[in-house]
Amino acid sequence: MDIFSLEGRNAWITGAAYGIGFAIAKAFVKAGARTIIFNTRSQESVDKALEAYAAEGITNVRGYVCDVTDEVAVKALVARIHEEVGQIDILVNNAGIIKRIPMHEMTRSEFQQVIDIDLVGPYIASAAVIPEMMERREGKIINVCSMMSELGRETVSAYAAAKGGLKMLTRNICSEYGEYNIQCNGIGPGYIATPQTAPLREKQADGSRHPFDSFICAKTPAGRWLDPDELAGPAVFLASHASDAVNGHILYVDGGILAYIGKQPK
Ligand code: NAP
Ligand code: GCO
159 flagged as catalytic: yes
The residue whose CA has the least distance to atom 27 of ligand 1 is 20
Q: How far is the CA of 19 from the centre of ligand 1 (A)?
A: 7
- C-alpha span between 110 and 104 (Å, rounded): 12
φ/ψ of residue 252, rounded to 5: -80, 125
Q: How far is the CA of 196 from the centre of ligand 1 (A)?
A: 7
Report the pocket of ligand 1 as residue ranges, CB < 6 Å: 14-15, 17-21, 39-42, 45, 67-69, 94-97, 117, 144, 146, 189, 191-192, 194-197
- Confidence class of residue 127 from pLDDT cuts 50, 70 and 90? very high
- Is 189 a residue whose pLDDT tops 90? yes
Could you say which of 18, 53, 123, 159 is catalytic? 159
pLDDT at 1: 83
User: Which distant-in-sequence residues (6+ apart) come within 8 Å of 189 by Cβ?
Assistant: 20, 144, 146, 147, 226, 231, 253, 254
Pocket test for ligand 1, best of 40, 98, 115, 124 (most atoms within 8 A of CB): 40
Q: How far is the CA of 11 from the centre of ligand 1 (A)?
A: 17
Pocket test for ligand 1, best of 77, 194, 200, 231 (most atoms within 8 A of CB): 194
Q: How far is the CA of 179 from the centre of ligand 1 (A)?
A: 31
Atom number in ligand 1 closest to CA 95: 7
Give the predicted TM-score (pTM) of the model.
Answer: 0.98
pLDDT at 266: 83
Residues 31-47: what's their mean pLDDT?
98
More confident residue, 243 or 1: 243
**Partners of 45 in the β-ladder:** none
Q: Which residues of 128-148 are buried (b: 16+ CB within 10 A; e: fewer)?
A: bbbebbeeeebbbbbbbbbbb
| Average pLDDT over all residues of the chain | 98
- C-alpha span between 86 and 45 (Å, rounded): 24
The number of the ligand nearest the C-alpha atom of 148 reads 2
pLDDT at 265: 85
Residues 47-58: what's their mean pLDDT?
98
Roughly how many angstroms between the first and final C-alpha of the chain, as a whole number? Answer: 45
Reported as a single tens digit per residue, the pLDDT across 193-251 is 999 999 999 999 999 999 999 999 999 999 999 999 999 999 999 999 999 999 999 99
CA 27 to chain centroid, in Å, comes to 13
- C-alpha span between 149 and 169 (Å, rounded): 11
pLDDT at 173: 99
